[in-house]
Amino acid sequence: MYRAMTWLALQRGIDPNDAGGLTALAERATISVRDVDGDAIEPTGVLVDGEDATPHLREPAVEAAVSLVSRVPGVRAALVRIQRELAAAGGVVMAGRDIGSVVLPDAGLKIYLDASREVRARRRFEQMREAGLQPDFDALLADLGRRDGIDESRAASPLTAAPGAEIINTDRLTIEEVVTRILKLAA
């Protein structure tokens, strides 16, 4: 959702440092999510103001600005409200940097997936290559470091493991091994 909001802001010419403009945009935007093809890079599609933002979520301009947009308290408040509305319907799995700590602090199961910056960059690099892109590993690694720094130090909902979250370091785990651990926790 934060990537979709960032894409919308860029489409509308709103500067990622304009907190007031970003807050106003987030307060009036309509956002919905939908399942997409299971083989897609993004397993969930995001519609924002009726437009499918999904193909744009990993664009370089969005990657560069998403942490700036997501640190704005007004944007966070608007998107947290939408995320809570989605969760109220039940039967949802949410992923995000503050889902267990802020959005759904009373969730029945909170899992904090962790991996080193290098492993995350390598995974993103491979994912992008499989999608036919030609990513720059060093640029991905640097951008992850920049984003982590912003997210860990922001005043509104800083990146942290939620109290009571099950922490799983995925550095040496396959996707199947992570899923198996999560399913055991959910049982």
**130-147: pLDDT as tens digits:** 888 899 999 999 989 988
Query: Domain 1-92, what architecture?
Result: 3-Layer(aba) Sandwich (3.40)
Q: What local confidence, expressed as pLDDT, does residue 38 receive?
A: 60
Judged on CB neighbours under 10 Å (0-12, 13-18, 19+), 144 is middle
Is the predicted pLDDT of residue 40 greater than 60, yes or no? no
Positions of CATH 3.40.50.300 in the chain: 1-92, 97-187
Superfamily of domain 97-187: P-loop containing nucleotide triphosphate hydrolases (3.40.50.300)
